[in-house]
Structure 1
Amino acid sequence: MRLRLLVLCLSILFLSSSPLGAEQSQELPFQLDTEIPHFKIGILTDGPIRSFPDLIDTYRREIEQVAGDEYTISFPPEMTLEAGGTKASVNKQLDRLLANQETSLIIALGTVASSEALKRKSPAIPVIAPFVLDPSIQNAPKEDLGSGVHNLTYVFIGTSINKLLTTFRGIVPFKHLAMLVDARDINGIDGITKKVRQLTNEHTITIDLIPVAASAGMAVQAIPPGVEAVMVGPLWQLDKKEFSALSQGLIQRQLPSFSMWDYRYVEQGLFATSMPENIQEHLARRVAVTVQEILLGEDPATLPVVFTKTQKMAFNMETARAINIYPSLGQLTGSKLLHEQRQDIQRRLSLPEAVQEALSANLDLAVAERQVTAGTYAVGEARSPLLPQVGIGASGRVIDDDRAFISGGTTPEKAWIASANASQQIYSEKSWSTYTVEKYRQSGREFNRDTVRLDITLDAANAYLNVLRQKTIEQLQKENMQLTQANLERAQIRLSTGVAGPDELYRWQTKFANDRQVVLRAESTTLDAMQQLNRILHRPLQEEFIAEETDLSDPLLITGDQLFYQLMHNPRYLKDFNAFAMEEGLKFSPELQVIDAEIAAQERIIVRSKREYWLPDFTVEGNVDQVLSDSGEGQRDEAVTGLDDTDWSVGVFARLPLFEGGRKSATLGKTREQLNQLKTERMATAERINQRILAASNNTRASYPSINLSREAAEAARRNLQLVTDSYVQGIKSIIDLLDAQNQALNSDLDAANAVYNFLIDFMGVQRSIGQFIIFLPQEEQQEWLERAKAFLQWQK
């Protein structure tokens, strides 16, 4: 800007000295240099950067983007130097850049290079040291907000190793820690070993400092037995493959690990970090802004050195499961969770699979099946009097001798007799009606089982959809919590710049705490929904499963036929369909069929009650008695009495009770009233079924259009939130405006999510009210039903 101002002033001065009214332009007394300033930037690394091979390119790209048209920047290859990994080689290359007259600015892009740069007193060329892990370790100078050293500035992320260690111990208590640090840093930065001793004394723990070169295997082997946890600093010499091997080695040893340097280490398998996501990109952008300020004339000594970035916990849940160490619920809530969804869960459920499993294993349905099975035996029991009845017996008796004497051998004084009897009903109205009535009631039990089957299908489908709904709501609440966390960071920036007061920061902190509670409740509700589905499927309640997501961009896709599209988009078709649905519902409703079976049973009982007045029971009965032994007076002697030892009789009988105290008339009257009651109940049930069908259809009439309407509202709310957020950052809008916009966006997203599942549940209700779940029928039966519906509606293909 200063150069551009100088050019403008010279131009005005020259023009004012030219004669007015000159017809021809005169040749300038000198050539004005109007070229944009060009700066050459030197970059120094400690050595090969295998862990972040694109690190230099990231810094170059950010610096070029920030430069704009104010000036031009280049990074000459001869000014991008790589030291040999030692302090001496770093200083040699740093001196080389400082001695180069064309070097405009130096970036010490290495921890050792940054430490050595901090030792320079008033360097001749501006130097930026971006990699300050801990000012106390690298003896970083500080005066007010800046370094206080002419032409020297640095960047400190704002989190000391002491604080990181405290954070890690809050997650995993330990007494013996291994700290993995790049061997170049340990050898090149004198303060590291001293800092480790200080931390050992301050926290009363044992810390083993492990140098790491280019081999992950050697690093893991160097960790002594007894170590309970590992903290990992920047490991410049490990490429991505070796770092993954390091992570796996720590997992195999069941060691929880914490990244002190980069979020990407957790992505590559470490357990936890408090470093924000994309921290290296943010750091590069901060350096780019610092470069711009220096090139525009600011003294590096006065530039702020603390890079305030809100710490945010991140956990690799796959690693947590592998080492069987989990943070507390409070620590998990509000943290970034990588691989939160388990991929090792074999049990996966789709909607049809959930329904089919429920029909195979649900206990309520099993109870209904048992009732049907028991009913088959009841039918057999009712049928048994219609079949031959056979019995055998034995008896021994003693009578007085005088009666035995005069009996003439028919009843000896002492006798042991075996007997057999048989009977067969020729016709019994009571037995036949009982058998017929029981068969009708067995049909009722089967229809009642079908009712339970329909209810279980509905419950399983709704429970499955509710799992998907709750998972969606949980995710939306987590996203809202993360948005609150981002707004909290924005409020911290506004506070640091004086735009907002501490009350605004406290307000966001309160909301963040409340949002974390909401997320915990949402997670619990999701668990409740999954456990409810497990109960319906007769699974262990805590058994985990993955509910397979389906494409719900248009929920009508679940039906696979255009019929329902037309119904939802054409009110006339929907009205006609309601008539068809009521006809189908009355035809297939198992509730009505249960009543019909009971009506048939009552009608048969009435017939029996009428016949009992005049129709007797006809039976054939036979009996055989065999005298096995006799003694005393009146012994059976065939030669004397003419009686052998076998007596038998056969007869046909007709029995008709004439008077039973009014039982017949009472039974007939009661049965008639029960029949009238059942017929009335059937009419009431039919009305309820029709009303239920219409209510379910009316629900879909409202819930389906709500899907698009709620999505439009959610999109508008998101756009409004973006506008208000931008205005809030610029200081135009207040915290109240942003809170309102955020709450509106959340509620709109929740409404949009609920609209989809509300429609699907309403659609399931329509099928339940009809008495058939069309979408779960076999393909042939489903097609048959669709054709029947279209024929009723006189569908025009």
Structure 2
Amino acid sequence: MKKIVVFFLFFTCILFSQSKKEVIVGILADNSTSETNILLEELKTEVKSVLGANVEVSFTKQLDNNFSLNTAKTNYQTLVDSNADVILSFGTINNIMLYNEKVYPKPTIVFGSINNDFMDLTEKINKTEVNNLSYVIAPFSYKDDIEIFNSLFEFKKLGIIVEEHVINELPIKDLLDTYFLNKNQEYKLIPIPKEGEDLTYSLDDVDAVYFAGGNYLEENKINALIKSVNTKKLPSFTAFGIKNVERGILATNHTDSNLSSFFRRIALNIESIVDGKNASDLPVFKNYEKKLTINYATATEINFPLRYSLIARVNFIGEKNDDLKDDTSKMSLLEMLEVVLDENLSLKAEKKNLDLVDQDVKSSKSNYLPDLSVSAGGVYIDPKIAEISAGESPEFSTSGAAVLNQLIYSESASANIDIQKELQKSQKEIYNSSQLDAVLNTSIAYFNTLILKTNTQIQNQNLQITKQNLDFAEQNFRIGSSGKADVLRFRSQLAQNTQNLIEANNDLEQSFNTINELLGQSMNTKIDIQDLNISDDIFEKYNYNEFFELLDYPNLKQKFVDFLVEETKNNAPELKSINYNLNALKRNYKLYDKGRYIPTVSLQGQYSLAMSQSGAGSSYPVGAPNIPDGTYNVGLNVSLPIFKQNLNNINRQTVKIQEDQLLIEQENTYLNLEKNIHDIVLDLINQIANIEISKVSEENAKQSLDLTQNAYKNGAVSVIELIDAQTNYIQAQLSKSSANYNFLITSMQLERAFGYFFLMNNDVDNQAFFQRAKQYILNKN
């Protein structure tokens, strides 16, 4: 029995050994470094692990092309002619060489970075459908990188650091020449310096640097290059992953590829090929993930201006500098208002209405200007008639005439002048109203933008708190004090917070679009604004604190409101415009009433000149008196319409109806303004309360969050309690940040209601306003 068992085991081992497959993997690379050698060993381990014990995997010696296309092609042919079963290709040069090949005799897997500028690979490719060819790649593009870099920093001349062999082997210069052909920018190729060479002098004439190469350099060499660039205070961008940004390059749009997932895919592809599947049928594994990453420490070191709008769409690494210096290019509210009043397109269009009304006034006055016309003509008469005309009608004659009409007085013309002047004043008030609306809209846009800027910052801070809480949850999970559910809950919370941050940034960008529209600028204009709150000097200067105090005392509120209503009567351009229209109607009524009894007086004069005459009948008979060549006449016309089809009465009645209509509109407008003042004052009182309450609320919420975080770390509270504490804290922060700005927005709305903006008037006028207010309150019973 034992012999049978031993025989069976021996036979099984023979069968097993006979069924075990052998696979030889050939490796192509551009160059070898200590770092790439380590990664290659990790890949070999992954391949052996996936293929398992049933497959004997061996790897050929790595063939490096040292960045030569010709060598790369030779190395590939060497592996094709060898006993290698599968070929792995690493590196840009190898991958471009293989892309240009038409036939692949052996299963070939292209791995690594693929430059889309030289190889046409799109996201839509799911399979290569090329016999024996498969991709496991991370595509990138010089042109795309430069576009992204330019969106961060509008350089004038870009220095592109790249290996010398890339310049020699690839058409990079042709590519960049074409790209920059129609741009107002330049570029300069800077070969990576050789041992002992200094990069500094090559950077003197550039204002930005793009690291298109250097990924194969030893760490000390790439660090030296980065240091040279940062010392020159030059913004920099890399074609490679976040690791280079961590070393000190300013930014990248690439992530560090998850090599474990890449290695696993390569191993699975090799397994499929061993099992008989064609490489062309394998899924193309592509990493198109892009993430703009900026190094805060580098940005601070080189004084790179970081806009708040970057916060949501950028992954920041390194030390965050919360004390960024104020950018002098940031617009203040007063600066913005000045630009809006000069450049706002709606105001410009409204200003044209004023110009048109001015033309109407000029046109009405022109009725009293003389009307002078001249004419000339020639006449040919039948010579038979001319012969018997006794010199009165010569056969050929030419003559000229000058006619002058002068209106001396017309009630209709005078009324038209008066009416157009009143309409001119009315249109001026409409323009003033539009200006006040523009000031209000600009102020609201300004303060809303500040609210959204603060909201973006708070959402980012909240995101960091969630990351911190996630760390606590993962620590608790590792030590067994909490379950996996807490980790998953915070990961979900992290996704929500990220979305909130993105939405906050988009809202902020939309607010900048609104400001650009108000300023009459393109939406592409990059702007930023200065932060403000009610404690700033500008608001002390323009008496907002005094305004605040008058509303803070309940016993003064109603008297102050009554004063504002009185001010509205004097200031509101809407009421003034209606008054001027009423004046125009009254003048029109006068025209159709007593004005119809006033005659129209005009003067007319004419001078005629016979310039020439010839032919038959051109001479007077002998003894007949000669008619002078030039004659004139002057006449005075006086007209008075007695009965104009009853139109005067009808027009008078129409004007009266229009006047009644305007009086109703005036009363309604005043009532609306009065209501707005009462409503806005109540809103202001709410805002005053919110300012004080939000301070206390934020302090309490912050203390509660700190206590809850400590308790959660010790396992004393649940994840729900911690999230609630965090949510309460962010809501309290948002409420506090919004309270001051909302008070200012509401204040501007109130000022618009009574037609007087403190920011747009000088200190003397503002002091006079408050003096009138105090005097009114003292006199009010």
TM-score norm. by structure 1 comes to 0.62
The partner residue of 1:760 within 717, 726, 744 is 744
Q: Which amino acid aligns with 1:424?
A: Q
Q: 1:493 to 1:317 in 2, by over 3 A?
A: closer
Match of 1:386 in 2: 368
Q: How many residues align?
A: 559
Match of 1:793 in 2: 777
Say whether 1:431 aligns with 2:413. Answer: yes
Answer yes or no: is the 8 Å Cα contact 1:610–1:668 preserved in 2: yes
Q: Which amino acid aligns with 1:776?
A: M
How do residues 268-667 of structure 1 correspond to structure 2 at under 5 angstroms? 315-316=294-295, 332-333=314-315, 338=320, 347-398=329-380, 412=394, 414-552=396-534, 557=540, 559-560=542-543, 563-631=546-614, 635=618, 637=620, 640-667=624-651
Match of 2:51 in 1: none
Match of 1:106 in 2: none
Say whether 1:671 aligns with 2:655. Answer: yes
Answer yes or no: is the 8 Å Cα contact 1:585–1:689 preserved in 2: yes
Answer yes or no: is the 8 Å Cα contact 1:315–1:338 preserved in 2: no
Match of 1:730 in 2: 714
Task: For residue 362 of structure 1, report the CA deviation from its aligned partner.
Answer: 1.1
Q: Any idea what SS the aligned residue of 1:424 has? A: strand
Q: Any idea what SS the aligned residue of 2:645 has? A: coil
Q: 1:570 to 1:250 in 2, by over 3 A?
A: closer
Say whether 1:228 aligns with 2:213. Answer: yes
Task: For residue 559 of structure 1, report the CA deviation from its aligned partner.
Answer: 3.6
Task: For residue 574 of structure 1, report the CA deviation from its aligned partner.
Answer: 1.9
Answer yes or no: is the 8 Å Cα contact 1:318–1:342 preserved in 2: no
Match of 1:129 in 2: none
Task: For residue 569 of structure 1, report the CA deviation from its aligned partner.
Answer: 2.1
Task: For residue 577 of structure 1, report the CA deviation from its aligned partner.
Answer: 1.1
Q: 1:718 to 1:232 in 2, by over 3 A?
A: farther
Task: For residue 704 of structure 1, report the CA deviation from its aligned partner.
Answer: 1.6
Answer yes or no: is the 8 Å Cα contact 1:622–1:649 preserved in 2: yes
Q: 1:386 to 1:331 in 2, by over 3 A?
A: closer
How do residues 771-786 of structure 1 correspond to structure 2 at under 5 angstroms? 771-786=755-770
**Post-superposition CA distance 1:614-655 (Å, at most 9, x none):** 222111111111112234666474962441122211111111
Task: For residue 498 of structure 1, report the CA deviation from its aligned partner.
Answer: 1.2
Q: 1:564 to 1:233 in 2, by over 3 A?
A: farther
RMSD: 4.6
**Post-superposition CA distance 1:421-472 (Å, at most 9, x none):** 1122221001111111111111111111111111111111111111111100
Q: 1:363 to 1:631 in 2, by over 3 A?
A: same
Match of 1:159 in 2: none
Measure, in 1, the Cα distance between the counterparts of 2:360 and 2:532: 46
Q: Any idea what SS the aligned residue of 2:716 has? A: coil
Answer yes or no: is the 8 Å Cα contact 2:419–2:584 preserved in 1: yes
Answer yes or no: is the 8 Å Cα contact 1:230–1:255 preserved in 2: no
Measure, in 1, the Cα distance between the counterparts of 2:579 and 2:756: 19
Q: Any idea what SS the aligned residue of 1:721 has? A: helix
Task: For residue 406 of structure 1, report the CA deviation from its aligned partner.
Answer: 7.6
Answer yes or no: is the 8 Å Cα contact 1:415–1:630 preserved in 2: yes
Q: 1:677 to 1:690 in 2, by over 3 A?
A: same
Task: For residue 606 of structure 1, report the CA deviation from its aligned partner.
Answer: 0.7
Say whether 1:691 aligns with 2:675. Answer: yes
Q: 1:663 to 1:478 in 2, by over 3 A?
A: same
**Post-superposition CA distance 1:551-591 (Å, at most 9, x none):** 44589646446532431321122211111111111101111
Q: 1:221 to 1:397 in 2, by over 3 A?
A: closer
Q: 1:252 to 1:779 in 2, by over 3 A?
A: closer
Say whether 1:701 aligns with 2:685. Answer: yes
Task: For residue 594 of structure 1, report the CA deviation from its aligned partner.
Answer: 0.9
Name stretches of at least 5 consecutive residues in structure 2 with no aligned partner.
1-37, 43-89, 94-110, 114-134, 139-161, 164-194, 203-209, 257-290
Q: 1:334 to 1:514 in 2, by over 3 A?
A: farther
Q: 1:708 to 1:637 in 2, by over 3 A?
A: farther
Measure, in 1, the Cα distance between the counterparts of 2:297 and 2:365: 64
Q: Any idea what SS the aligned residue of 1:621 has? A: strand
Answer yes or no: is the 8 Å Cα contact 2:405–2:605 preserved in 1: yes
Q: Which amino acid aligns with 1:670?
A: T
Q: 1:700 to 1:245 in 2, by over 3 A?
A: same
How do residues 31-46 of structure 1 correspond to structure 2 at under 5 angstroms? none
Task: For residue 344 of structure 1, report the CA deviation from its aligned partner.
Answer: 10
Task: For residue 603 of structure 1, report the CA deviation from its aligned partner.
Answer: 0.6
Measure, in 1, the Cα distance between the counterparts of 2:534 and 2:388: 99
Q: 1:250 to 1:396 in 2, by over 3 A?
A: closer
Name stretches of at least 5 consecutive residues in structure 1 with no aligned partner.
1-132, 138-172, 177-197, 209-214, 276-311
Q: Which amino acid aligns with 1:228?
A: G
Match of 1:157 in 2: none
Q: Which amino acid aligns with 2:295?
A: N
Q: 1:360 to 1:318 in 2, by over 3 A?
A: farther
Q: Which amino acid aligns with 1:773?
A: F
Task: For residue 329 of structure 1, report the CA deviation from its aligned partner.
Answer: 9.3
Measure, in 1, the Cα distance between the counterparts of 2:254 and 2:626: 114
Measure, in 2, the Cα distance between the counterparts of 1:370 and 1:524: 35
Q: Which amino acid aligns with 2:213?
A: E
Q: 1:247 to 1:654 in 2, by over 3 A?
A: closer
Measure, in 2, the Cα distance between the counterparts of 1:379 and 1:406: 56
How do residues 93-132 of structure 1 correspond to structure 2 at under 5 angstroms? none
Q: 1:536 to 1:706 in 2, by over 3 A?
A: same
Q: Any idea what SS the aligned residue of 2:675 has? A: helix
Measure, in 1, the Cα distance between the counterparts of 2:588 and 2:632: 38
Q: Which amino acid aligns with 1:734?
A: S
Match of 1:52 in 2: none
Task: For residue 396 of structure 1, report the CA deviation from its aligned partner.
Answer: 2.9
Q: Which amino acid aligns with 1:517?
A: Q
Task: For residue 204 of structure 1, report the CA deviation from its aligned partner.
Answer: 9.3
**Post-superposition CA distance 1:213-262 (Å, at most 9, x none):** xx99879999xx996255999979x9xx9985474479688656878699
Answer yes or no: is the 8 Å Cα contact 1:775–1:782 preserved in 2: no
Q: 1:765 to 1:621 in 2, by over 3 A?
A: same
